[in-house]
Amino acid sequence: MSFIEYGDTIKDGDTAVVFLGHESMFPVKVQHGTVTQTKYGVIRHSTDLIGNKYGSKVTCSKGGWVFILHPTPELWTMNLPHRTQILYSTDISIITMMLELKPGSIVCESGTGSGSLSHALIRTVAPTGHLYTVEFHQQRAEKAREEFREHGVEHLVTVTNQDVCKNGFGVSNIADAVFLDIPSPWEAIGHAKSALKAEGGRICSFSPCIEQVQRTCLAMEEHGFTEINTLEILLRVYNVRTISLQIPDLGKAAEDNSSTGFDSSNPSTRGSPCAELQRGTVQFKSGMPLREMVGHTGYLTFATKS
């Protein structure tokens, strides 16, 4: 099993996603002789998982059922164990596009955190590219190495435990893109410039506060970066529902009703469009934004090495 190559059959040692519903799923490491408890009952790895196909419908001990899904970076983002705040697919998609990543790209990242963006970057640059990711916290760096090994992508990523603001990324003049998600990205702009290829490399910095963005932009200008721009991605979800609106009185409703022979006392005409006109309201489907939704996540600042 690998996060970058699809496999048909569930094997011992795989990471699989147990899908109970769109709002309820979790990852599980498949191991012979192990059981997993769900609200629908027990899943026995030896008989219910190993040897079956991904996407299979598995009946649990209480009679309920779940689906077993092959892991992807998107599913991992929704279900990973949080060691830090993470980036979600909305921001990840625009980062991948604006950094102009493709198979074969060399990318530098700091910090690794929980590995949400890292998995998406690895999938994008595979099979011939490489990710160099730097994590300041030693335990988080070791856990990231372990996850990459379990997910079958360790040959595409190098994890380094050091302070990127002081020691850089450990590579020079080879990266097609650099991504920064650290408290003081302006201190790492010089090292990012050194890691990027001689000309045309792209850089992105993620910061939750506009003051961080301002200092980062100034540092980018000082180091000769061009095409500096900052954007913010906001996801706005719409709820489709039936609403009622009054029909404006244009002075012809009574005349139209008499000409069509409409009889409001006749039960057969109730519920018809004419009846709705008589009542002065009409119902139709409409998309309404949710009253509460996820708002600001962070500002994304992009620039190009001149």
Phi, psi of 21 (to 5 degrees): 175, 170
Q: What is the pLDDT of residue 258?
A: 52
Q: Which residue reads 């990973």 in tokens?
A: 80
The Cα–Cα gap between 131 and 174 comes to 11
> How many domains would you assign to the chain?
2
Q: What is the pLDDT of residue 276?
A: 47
Q: What is the pLDDT of residue 262?
A: 47
Instruction: Please indicate, yes or no, whether residues 213 and 299 belong to a single structural domain of this protein.
Output: yes
Taking phi first (over 0 means left), then psi (-120 to 50 degrees means alpha), and beta for anything else, what does residue 41 get?
left
Contact (Cβ atoms closer than 8 angstroms) between residue 144 and residue 118: yes
Q: What is the pLDDT of residue 304?
A: 97
The Cα–Cα gap between 69 and 6 comes to 11
In a domain, 288, yes or no: no
Cβ neighbours around 31 below 10 Å, total:
15
CB burial string 240-256: b at 16+ within 10 A, e below: eeeeeeeeeeeeebeee
Instruction: Please indicate, yes or no, whether residues 224 and 100 belong to a single structural domain of this protein.
Output: yes
In a domain, 45, yes or no: yes
Instruction: Please indicate, yes or no, whether residues 217 and 91 belong to a single structural domain of this protein.
Output: yes
Q: What is the pLDDT of residues 105-123, one digit of tens each?
A: 999 999 999 999 999 999 9
Q: Helix count (H) and strand count (E) of the chain?
A: 9, 15
Q: What is the pLDDT of residue 271?
A: 52
Which amino acids are annotated as binding site for S-adenosyl-L-methionine, given as ranges?
114-117, 135, 163, 181
Q: What is the pLDDT of residue 252?
A: 60
Q: What is the pLDDT of residue 170?
A: 94
Instruction: Please indicate, yes or no, whether residues 177 and 33 belong to a single structural domain of this protein.
Output: no
| Closest to 167 in 3D by CA, of 96, 108, 86, 226 | 108
Instruction: Please indicate, yes or no, whether residues 187 and 79 belong to a single structural domain of this protein.
Output: yes
Domain containing residue 27: CATH number: 3.10.330.20
| Residue 233 CB burial class (10 angstroms; 0-12, 13-18, ≥19) | middle
Instruction: Please indicate, yes or no, whether residues 102 and 223 belong to a single structural domain of this protein.
Output: yes
Q: What is the pLDDT of residues 245-294, one digit of tens each?
A: 888 777 665 555 555 554 555 555 555 555 444 557 888 888 888 887 77
Residues of the chain where predicted confidence (pLDDT) is lower than 50:
262, 275-277
Which amino acids are annotated as binding site, given as ranges?
114-117, 135, 163, 181
- Name the domain boundary from 42, 71, 100: 71
In a domain, 243, yes or no: no
Domain that holds residue 53: 9-71
Q: What is the pLDDT of residue 19?
A: 96
Q: What is the pLDDT of residue 227?
A: 96
| Closest to 66 in 3D by CA, of 34, 44, 89 | 44
Q: Tokens at residue 158, please?
A: 């190098």
Contact (Cβ atoms closer than 8 angstroms) between residue 164 and residue 139: no
